[in-house]
Structures are given as C-alpha cells and as structure tokens.
C-alpha cells in the first residue's frame, strides 16, 4: 500500500526560544514493492521522517496518507497502521527482553490478541524469513551473535505481518559478514516476499548495491530523490551536505580525468570491473 506525504512539516521546541524545523515541506510518494535507500547526515531529519511514516510522530502541518487514507483522519486506527508499517530501530537487539528467541518474536502478535496457534505460526514464519530455524527457538538471546540477535529483532517486527519494512541502520556495529547477512536477508524479503523496504544507511557502498531509489535528506528537506546512479552523479553536492558517493565512483572519475575513456556513472565494483575490462580488451 502506498504511503504519501504532502507538505509535511515538523517543528519541535516551538514554545522555546530555539524551535527546530526538523522537517520542512516534505513531499514523497512511496509505492508498493519499492526498495528505497534513505540517507542523510546526522541531524538531517531522516530519523524524524521515518517515525512519521507509522504515526509515531505527528506532523506539525501537512498530511500523511496510507493507501489514500489520512492516518490522522477520524476513526483511523494508528495501531493497525503500525502493524502494517514495521519499524526496526537502530540497535534493535537492545529491545530483546524475553528469555528465549521464540517467546521474544511471539510478543508482538500476542499483543494483537490473536489465538495462540496463530501467534506461534506467525513467529515461526517470521523466524524462517530471517533464516533462523527451530534449533534457535529455545536459545537465550545472550547466546546469539550480534547479527543473529538483530535478525531475531527483525523477526519480531515481521511477525506483525507488515507490508512496509523500515530499517534504521540495520548494519551499524556489525562486521562485514554480519552486514552481508542482514542485507541479503532484507533483499530476499523484498524480492521473494514483496515487502516495500526503506533502508536507512550511512554506507554509500551498500546503498549502491541494494537500493533501487535513493532519497537524500538535508536540513529537513528532500535534497535528492532518484535512482542511485542519478543521485551519486551529484557527488560534489553530496559532499557539501556531509555525504559522499561510493569509493568506486571516485575511482572512475579519477580514471576519466587521467584520460582513461571510462563512463563516470558507475557505482558498484562489479560495474567498474566490467567497464575496465572492456576498455582494456578494446585496446
């Protein structure tokens, strides 16, 4: 179901001497089945933005529509919205609190007052989606690695059966293999289960590989919105707002400047490798 933001503004500290305009006239359409990368410098408004998408923060002005319906309209159930738009916070493993993995994942659906069988069915499905089989069910979260804990936390959100999954820096603090595990899992959720994904990340390299659309926030506004290739072409402007392009984009630009006849809109190592090999072969 699409999420639409119309002229959304959010100001906090309005009654103080230093009000902060955290979001300023944000207009966005998030369509079904998209894989969106959301980036922005710390304080750019990206965390504020994602909390608007499932009604955790109410805009100061403007409208937010889920499937065409105003989420602050009369009689609209925000509770239901929150199970449709699942939000995985930063360091979600800090929110694990049950004694074993399975109980933790059951907690969300149990709160929806579903029958026990349905709760357990959902938990089992959610754990399967993040690649944790029955051998993990009875383990204490303390016995898991950082990446595994995080997958349990994501399963907890998946058990609510959302249609949109928002992940706030899901790879922070993980090593490269843990990072690839989580992002691979997210990609499978997108490709095989059809989830709409919004991935907040500081890693341009990861966003270049995984996202199909990039939204760049700066000072509470949407600065860029387009395909990764289009957005990373603005790398000088990205640098001005504390961001960058993937390292490989800088490499192809440097090659071009040195007279190597390569296209400069390449954003992944694989693309660059193929382009270089082709040029060397043609010589």
Partner 1 sequence: METIAVLRRSDSRMKIVRTEQLVYEYQKYDDQGNPSEVTRAIDGVDLQVEQGQFIAVLGHNGSGKSTLAKHLNALLLPSGGTVWVEGKDTALDENLWDVRQTAGMVFQNPDNQIIANVVEEDVGFGPENMGVPTEEIWKRVDDSLKAVGMTAYRYHSPNKLSGGQKQRVAIAGVMAMKPKCIVLDEPTAMLDPNGRGEVIRTVRRLQKEEGITVILITHYMEEVTEADRVFVMDEGKIVMQGTPRQIFARVRELKHYRLDVPQVTELAYELQQAGVKLPDGILETEELVRELCRLR
What whole-number distance in Å separates Cα of residue 274 and Cα of residue 270?
A: 6
Tokens of 231: 């957005």
Among 9, 174, 188, 226, binds partner 1 (CB under 8 A): 174
The answer to whether residue 258 forms part of the interface with partner 1 (CB under 8 A) is yes
Interaction with partner 1 in 191-210: which residues (CB under 8 A)? Answer: 202, 205
DSSP codes, 134-203: GGGTTS-GGGS-HHHHHHHHHHHHHTT--SEEEEESTTTT--HHHHHHHHHHHHHHHHHH--EEEEE-S-
- Nearer residue to partner 1 within complex by CB, 17 or 42: 42
**Which residue from 172, 188, 219, 265 is in contact with partner 1, where contact means CB under 8 A?**
172
Element (H, E) at 223: strand 221-226
Burial 130-148 (b: 16+ CB within 10 A, else e): bebeeebeebebeebeebb
Check residue 20 for interaction with partner 1 (CB under 8 A): no
- Say how far residue 212 (Cα) sits from the centre of its chain: 12
Q: Does 244 bind partner 1 (CB under 8 A)?
A: yes
Report how many residues bind partner 1 under the rule CB under 8 A.
37
The site string for partner 1 over 105-144 (x = CB under 8 A, - otherwise) reads: ----------------------------------------
Footprint on this chain of partner 1 (rule: CB under 8 A): 41-43, 145-147, 172-178, 202, 205, 242-244, 246-248, 250-251, 254-255, 258-260, 269-270, 272-273, 276-277, 279-280, 283
């Amino acid at each position: 179901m699409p999420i639409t933001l119309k002229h959304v503004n959010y100001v906090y500290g309005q009654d103080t001497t230093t009000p902060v305009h955290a979001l300023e006239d944000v207009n966005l359409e998030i369509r079904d089945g998209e894989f969106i990368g959301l980036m922005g410098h710390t304080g750019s408004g990206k965390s504020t933005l994602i909390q608007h998408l499932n009604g955790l923060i109410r805009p100061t002005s403007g409208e937010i529509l889920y499937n065409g319906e105003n989420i602050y309209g009369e009689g609209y159930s925000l509770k239901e919205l929150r199970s449709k738009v699942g939000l995985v916070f930063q360091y979600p493993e800090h929110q694990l609190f049950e004694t074993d993995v399975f109980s933790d994942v059951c907690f969300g659906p149990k709160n929806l007052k579903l029958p026990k069988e349905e709760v357990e069915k959902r938990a089992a499905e959610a754990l399967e989606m993040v690649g944790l089989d029955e051998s993990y069910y009875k383990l204490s979260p303390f016995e898991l690695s950082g990446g595994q804990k995080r997958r349990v936390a994501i399963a907890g959100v998946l058990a609510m059966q959302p249609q949109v999954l928002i992940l706030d820096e899901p790879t922070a603090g993980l090593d490269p293999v843990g990072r690839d595990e989580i992002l691979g899992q997210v990609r499978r959720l997108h490709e095989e289960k059809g989830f709409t994904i919004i991935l907040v990340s500081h890693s341009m390299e990861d966003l270049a590989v995984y996202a199909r659309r990039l939204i760049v926030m700066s000072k509470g506004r949407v600065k860029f919105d387009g395909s990764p290739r289009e957005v990373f072409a603005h790398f000088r402007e990205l640098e001005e707002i504390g961001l960058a392009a993937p390292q490989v984009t800088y490499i192809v630009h440097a090659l071009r400047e040195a007279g190597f006849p390569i296209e400069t809109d390449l954003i992944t190592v694989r693309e660059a490798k193929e382009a270089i090999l082709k040029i060397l072969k043609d010589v």
